Chain A
Amino acid sequence: MRPPPRPSSTRAPASLRELRMPPMKSTMSKRKLKESVEESAECISQVQKILRERFCHYCAAGKLFGMKQQYSHLLELLKRTTVHGESNSALIIGPRGSGKTALLNHVLEDLREMNQVRENLLEVHLNGLLQTNDKVALKEITRQLQLENVVGDKVFGSFAENLAFLLEALRRGNRTSSCPVLFVLDEFDLFVHHKNQSLLYNLFDISQSAQTPVTVIGLTCRQDILELLEKRVKSRFSHRQIYLMNSFDFKEYIKIFKKQLSLPAEFPDEAFAQKWNNNVQHLSEDKTVRDVLQKLFQHTKDLRSLHLLLMLAVSAVTTHHPLPTAADLQEASRQHSSDSRANIVHGLSVLEICLIIAMKHLNEVYDGEPFNFQMVYNEFQKFIQRKAHSMYNFEKPVVMKAFEHLLQLELVKPLERPSARAQREYLLMKLLLDSSQIMEALQVYPNCPTDVKQWAASSLSWL
């Protein structure tokens, strides 16, 4: 029994197998069957590798969709910095998942391949999540420009001095003019909250003052980013904004779906790739798949959610199930869009469901005013005394424990933090579910006693 081939192995074993095949004619058919199963195992593994990298690992090899104009704008801008030595600043603005980082990475990669670009385009990548204040940012800049030895133990009076020193240090060596530096600031809106916005001020200042060619590119998801900038920072910014708006319609969305799911032309097993791509074409014309895509498109246009759906569908592909089907996509869509609160309510005990129904009635009677545990218990008692046949009259501490479980799950939230002053039973709370969610959850609740269901559906208050 041959061990299963490792996915990262090269094609060499397969060719060796081919060499070994011709002499044994009698066992050839058996071996061929094994070959086809094994080969398709390696094939499937390759498919998974390629598609998973495409959907989960956002590298520059991915394609861009609907961004031609923005791409050329950004490329032009960066070319001017690197080739002509111009200083610039720009902001790329777009909602989450619209492809800002992907666009920038693409442009940078294309730029590096150009011959005109002097090889020494220095890049500094900063991220608002990691560099949470200016000192850390400055250390990171020093590290990325590889100037730690040059800076050594020097102490600088201000941020500006430090930055000027760094840029001056780049000028040294046998260069008459310094090489251009590109600063990329991811999560730009987080840098805005630093003290005095000094990093931003200094970067934009340098980009205006034409000593070293410096380009500052910020990426942010906030549309109101300019209002967050201080006046002095805003005046030094060039106000150049590139917007990425996911501006494709549903037809293009289907085309994107097809392209993203298809295997590239360089795939080693051409027959399988052909089969796969035909299947994808077939899927894109299938009505159920179109419905699934339409539902997702109406919910959110960004490609990240599409990738999540496709990743779920691709993860179901195995050697026994080598091609994705419409059912896979439907299952993935169902997984993706399940209501999480309804799922949680499904797992509550009957006593806790009764408490939720009591809270629902209180909300209806008192128009959503906050309630406390005593009121809920009162309501529950009324139900037990008048209507319940299947529910046992539990003691107050047992009901309190069930209520505290609901608090722990954050289905019920106190209006203010519980302090030592108020007793727990009288703390005001509100329910974080609305009545339609509760009624829907009750429909699917397993083994719900009928009197509880009827109590939930009754709209009269029992006062």
Chain B
Amino acid sequence: MPNLAHPAYPSAELLHLESLVPCRESQVSMLLSIFGERQHFSFPSIFIYGHTSSGKTYVMQTLLTTLQLPHVFVNCVEHFTSRLLLEEILIQLQSCSSGTEQTSPVHCDTLNDFVRLFKQTLASQELQDQTVYIVLDRAEQLREMEANILPAFLRLQELTDRNVTVILLSEIVWELFRPSIGCFEPFTMYFPDYSIGHLQKILSQNHPPEYSADFYAAYINILLGVFYMVCRDLKELRHLAALNFSKYCEPVVRGEANERDTRKLWKNIEPHLKKAMQTVYLREISSSQWERLQRDGGEPGQLKGLSAHTHMELPYYSKFLLIAAYLASYNPVRTDKRFFLKHHGKIRKTNFMKKHEKTSNHLLGPKPFPLDRLLAILYSIVDNRVAPTANIFSQVLMNLVLMYCLPHLLEMESRQPQMQTFTL
């Protein structure tokens, strides 16, 4: 890719910018050509979309701060109501060109006030008609705010009659944003995902200085070989690379292999990475636990993730209750007679059953059942005679419910306990 070149900005700054944004040169040059010179007008609104960690936020921030363009950067998840959002924009605007941190408190409830205060604040800054950029990150949250916020921001240049460009960054495509009565269409730009070559290049950049770049590049290769099919998110891969590198270096540190023994190193690291996929990747255990495990050299089988704690020993009646609840959830009601009574007849298959034979109940999920059906099934499956004292059973049931084995579906209209329905 040729160097970024633009007449309005000094080439030293552009060179520095290029070094900060590897593999994103074409997007940056496109943005530069759209922005034009400082005083020129640009699109009133630009919508940039792309996958997570494809560099949208990072590139925008780096571009605007390196070239020192007047800008306001707001995250819509952090400022999730319209009032917070508008006030934050005005506060940041106050310190836009002056660079000082003195900001006076701003009170802005509605868009009407915002437009007025925006024009006032802009007039008080010495910007000489330079384009002001308002960047809204995680713009999909704008859809959750009031209905006029998104269309107003798309037209902000027209509403305020000033040189301002609004840039929206999001993962979601534009078609899911468009309001039903239409709006001012922004210029949509796509930040492509990184290819495997790009990922390798970027990940190999932060190699620790004590090892050579080739050694680290081989490690990244192995890591990508295991994880690339599952996940292409740069942040996740970087996290995994940082966590597992010490294990990879172990044979070299212990002197068993040197840096070029790729086969030995691979044999050492591969089961470790597979285990990482089941635990750290899924956030079953925290990264500090993982690192401690690596240091102590424990068996990977000893790892107890979060889901391991769901296996436990239950008392006698609770176990039967659980089994009864499982049966009640997955068996349709008409089969109860056949399974649980001593003298039953045969069930004839109706048309309905023949049509829906193939969709197994396990695919459709558990169905709700009333409490007395649960108790009836329980009585029939427990071998010895059970004293049907409601006291005991309600206590045991509540224990199970509290442990979230039976999520509770309460009917609010009918407060009688018999009408409570459960699912497994």
**Interface residue ranges, A against B (CB under 8 Å):** 4, 7-8, 41, 44-45, 48-49, 52-53, 56-58, 95-97, 101, 127-132, 136, 139-140, 189-190, 221-222, 304-305, 308, 311-312, 315-316, 318-319, 335, 338, 340-341, 343-344, 346-351, 372, 374-375, 378, 391-392, 394-395, 397-398, 401-402, 408-410, 420-423, 425-426, 446-447, 463
Contacts and interface: CB of A to CB of B under 8 A. Distances in A.
B111 A423 contact: no
Given A56-B42, A96-B182, A374-B363, A408 B171 contact: yes
24 contacts: A7-B39, A8-B39, A53-B41, A56-B43, A95-B182, A96-B182, A127-B159, A128-B148, A129-B151, A129-B155, A129-B159, A140-B112, A311-B187, A340-B49, A344-B51, A349-B232, A372-B364, A374-B363, A391-B229, A402-B231, A410-B173, A422-B365, A425-B365, A463-B358
Given A398-B277, A401-B282, A130 B159 contact: yes
B68 interface: no
A447 B196 contact: yes
A374 B362 contact: yes
B44 interface: yes
A48 B231 contact: no
Contact of B195 (A52, A308, A446): A446
B158 A48 contact: no
B176 interface: yes
B111 A57 contact: no
Nearest to B5: A318
B228 interface: yes
Contact of A4 (B7, B158, B173): B7
B313 interface: no
Interface in B360-377: 362-366
Which of A128, A129, A221, A398 has the most B CB atoms < 10 Å from its CB? A129
Contacts of A343: 49, 190, 192
Interface stretch (B13-21, B30-38, B254-262, B344-352): B30-38
Given A311-B43, A398-B277, A410-B176, A129 B181 contact: no
Contacts of A374: 362-365
Contacts of B282: 397-398, 401
Contact of B110 (A136, A305, A397): A136
B152 interface: yes
B152 A130 contact: yes
B157 interface: yes
Contacts of B159: 127, 129-130
Contacts of B155: 129
Given A344-B173, A397-B284, 7 more contacts: A4-B7, A56-B44, A128-B148, A131-B112, A346-B192, A394-B230, A410-B176
Interface in B114-136: 115, 129
A57 B41 contact: yes
A115 B8 CA distance: 44
A397 B232 contact: no
Interface in B159-180: 159, 163, 171-176
B281 interface: yes
A369 B49 CA distance: 30
Contacts of A401: 281-282
Contacts of B111: 129-130, 132
Contacts of B175: 340-341
Given A349-B230, A394-B230, A48 B37 contact: yes
B36 A52 contact: yes
Nearest to A338: B190
A351 B230 contact: yes
Nearest to B423: A421
B409 interface: yes
The 5 closest A-B pairs by CB, nearest first: A347-B193, A426-B365, A340-B173, A350-B229, A56-B41
Contact of B192 (A221, A222, A347, A348): A347
A378 B363 contact: yes
B127 to A, nearest CB: 13
Contacts of A130: 110-112, 115, 148, 152, 159
B365 A132 contact: no
Contacts of B188: 340
Contacts of B189: 335
B182 A347 contact: no
Contacts of B364: 372, 374, 426
A169 to B, nearest CB: 22
B36 A132 contact: no
B144 interface: no
A409 to B, nearest CB: 6
A315 B33 contact: yes
Contacts of B193: 346-347
Given A8-B39, A346-B192, A349-B229, A421 B54 contact: no
A448 B62 CA distance: 34
B418 interface: no
Which of B41, B110, B146 has the most A CB atoms < 10 Å from its CB? B41
A25 B151 CA distance: 60
A426 B361 CA distance: 11
Contacts of A421: 407, 409, 423
Contacts of A348: 232
Given A45-B7, A316-B33, A346-B192, A398 B278 contact: yes
Contact of A304 (B185, B284, B407): B185
A49 B228 contact: no
Nearest to A136: B112
B55 interface: no
B173 A308 contact: no
B180 to A, nearest CB: 11
Contacts of A7: 8, 37, 39-40
B302 interface: no
Contacts of B229: 349-351, 391-392
Nearest to A139: B112
B166 to A, nearest CB: 12
Which of A95, A341, A426 has the most B CB atoms < 10 Å from its CB? A426
B251 interface: no
Contacts of B49: 340, 343-344
A115 B174 CA distance: 48
B414 interface: no
B148 A129 contact: yes
Nearest to A220: B181
B172 A347 contact: no
Given A45-B7, A398-B281, A347 B171 contact: no
Contacts of A422: 365
A447 B225 CA distance: 13
B35 to A, nearest CB: 9
A461 B158 CA distance: 54
Contacts of A136: 110, 112
A386 B183 CA distance: 49
Nearest to A137: B112
Contact of A49 (B40, B307, B365): B40
A346 B115 CA distance: 40
B179 to A, nearest CB: 11
Contact of B366 (A316, A420, A426): A426
B387 to A, nearest CB: 33
A347 B366 contact: no
Nearest to A130: B112
A315 B228 contact: no
Contact of B407 (A56, A131, A420, A463): A420
B7 A318 contact: yes
A74 to B, nearest CB: 20
Contacts of A423: 365-366
Nearest to A427: B365
Contacts of A52: 36, 40-42
A372 B7 contact: no
Given A56-B44, A130-B115, A398-B282, A41 B7 contact: yes
